[in-house]
Structures are given as structure tokens and as C-alpha cells.
Amino acid sequence: MSTDVPTDDDRPVLDVAGLEVHYGRGRRRRRALHGASLTVHSGETVGVIGETGSGKSTFARAVLGLVRSSGGRIRIAGEEVSGYSHQQWRALRRRGVVQYVFQDPLRSLDPDLSVGESLIEPLLIQGVPRQEAIARGRAYLARVRLDEELFALLPGELSGGQRQRVAVARALVAEPALIILDEPVSALDSANRVGVLEILKELRDAGVALIFISHDLGSVAGVADRIAVLYQGELVEVGDARAIINTPRHPYTRLLVGSAPTLRSAATRAEREALRALLHA
């Protein structure tokens, strides 16, 4: 049920079809994803929503080759990667074509590397000269609205919101075809959540392809062009964000839209207003 949006480059940055993932062996074998199909074009932001355990992180991990798929296919920037070996996946990740931002920024960032070192590492791997890498790293700090002074600090010296912005900046520096953000705002307080959502919206407007995963429709609603709804391992509905919110078709989507807690009971007035502004921008 994908509604493909035509773009300048018609080749999708991500093309997933009929993806199956199982965990465990023998009697313990459980299906975590069933027949998941999703395309993401360059410049597009796709939200993936669903409750805890619906398979969101599994989808992200499969697309990064961190968990093996048992069926279906994955194409990244036109490259057929489904049959890749561990080594090939690792090489693909090192090339930085797809970047991943976790819910907990401490997992995305090496605690022993300064912010600056974390930012320039992907560039050095790509062979960018050190001085140029530093200049680009600083520019990306500004892009996520962080002060240059943070360059020399360790992740442990930053607030949760600052760390998550550094993780986003680190994902950006290598100029990947696609960034997958798995619950990027779920661990943040409301002020930082709004700040990171604004940055994601700026990235979307600048044409960076994003997959924004969240259990919270309210967080995704203002940022995503399209929304994919995962329910018990199946993508039950994929469509234009407004259509999903205004005329949800699947009963589970209706339930999600009807109860979207962030829209109704956003903790602070500022957050409510920011969410409303994002939704109506």
C-alpha cells in the first residue's frame, strides 16, 4: 500500500519489499516482521509508528544489516543488499550511505571521544583531510544549533538534548543518502523534544531523506511527509501524513489517531504550541 511520490531522482534511496524477520530458532522462533514494504525517495521524511514491540527497531536494524532478514529484499540507493555478508554490510555502514540515530544518544556516541572527534571520524574514514573535516564538523554543530565550544567536550559533559543533537550532527556529516532515527526524542524532556523536532523539520526542508521512528504519532505528525503504521510486525497502512491523521483507514491507525497522547496532553503550553505550529506549517 505505498503511495510513491515522484521526485527528481526517481530511484528510491530505500526500497524494501516483502521483508521478513524472525528471531530465535526452533520452537523459540518468532516472527517480528511480516511482508513489510516501504520505499523512501530522496528528500522525503517517512514516519514509522507503532506501539512497543510492533517491530519498528527490527525494521531499522534490518535495513542497516544489524539483523538478518529471512525473506524479501532491501535496496539502498539502487544497490541490492539483502544477500550481503556481515563484511559487506559492515563496509556499507562504514561508507556512511545510511546513518542510524538511536533513542539513547549514549549508544550512538563513543563516550571516550570528544564531540569534535565523534563528528570528524566519519569524514576521516571517507578520506577527507583533517582540517577540512574539522571545519565541516563545526559547521554541522551550528546546523543542530549547538555552540562551537562543545567541540572539545565529552558526551558525558553534555545534557541529554545536546547529546542527541550531536548524534544527529554526526549522522549528517557524512552526507548519507538516508538517516534512520529510532525514537530520537523519546528520552528527551519536552523542551529538548521540541528543539530536536524543529531540527528534523529543517533537515526535511533541506532535502535530507529521513526515516523517523516513534511510538508517538504526535511527535511524527509535524515532521513526516508520509507515515507508515506498524502493527504486530506488519505495515498495515502507509500514506500521506495528513491523510493518515485525517482519514485513517486501518482500525489500528484509527485507534492511534484517536488517542494521540502528545497532541491532547502535551506537558507544557510551549510544547503544545510548538506541536501545533509544526502540524500547520
Q: Which residues of the chain form contacts with ligand ADP (CB under 6 A)?
A: 23-24, 32, 50, 52-58
Question: Which three cell numbers, joined as nine digits, stand for 27?
Answer: 520452537
CB atoms within 10 A of CB 265: 9
Comparison of 9 and 51: residue with beta carbon closer to Mg ion? 51
Comparison of 23 and 89: residue with beta carbon closer to ligand ADP? 23
Residue-by-residue DSSP string for 46-76: EEEE--TTSSHHHHHHHHTTSS--SEEEEEE
Per DSSP bridges, beta strands 45-49 and 71-76 are unpaired
Q: What is the DSSP letter of 157?
A: G
Binding to Mg ion (CB under 5 A): which residues in 45-64? 56-57
Q: How far is the CB of 57 from ligand ADP (least distance, A)?
A: 3
Binding site partner of 18, from ligand ADP, Mg ion, none, Cβ cut-off 5-8 A by kind: none
Beta-bridge partners for 230: 235
CA–CA separation, 15 and 223 (whole Å):
21
Q: How far is the CB of 63 from ligand ADP (least distance, A)?
A: 12
Q: How far is the CB of 180 from Mg ion (least distance, A)?
A: 12
Binding site partner of 78, from ligand ADP, Mg ion, none, Cβ cut-off 5-8 A by kind: none
Q: How far is the CB of 229 from ligand ADP (least distance, A)?
A: 12
Comparison of 49 and 158: residue with beta carbon closer to Mg ion? 49
Q: How far is the CB of 19 from ligand ADP (least distance, A)?
A: 12
In degrees to the nearest 10, what's the CA dihedral of 57, 59, 62, 63? Answer: -110
Residues that bind Mg ion (CB under 5 A): 56-57
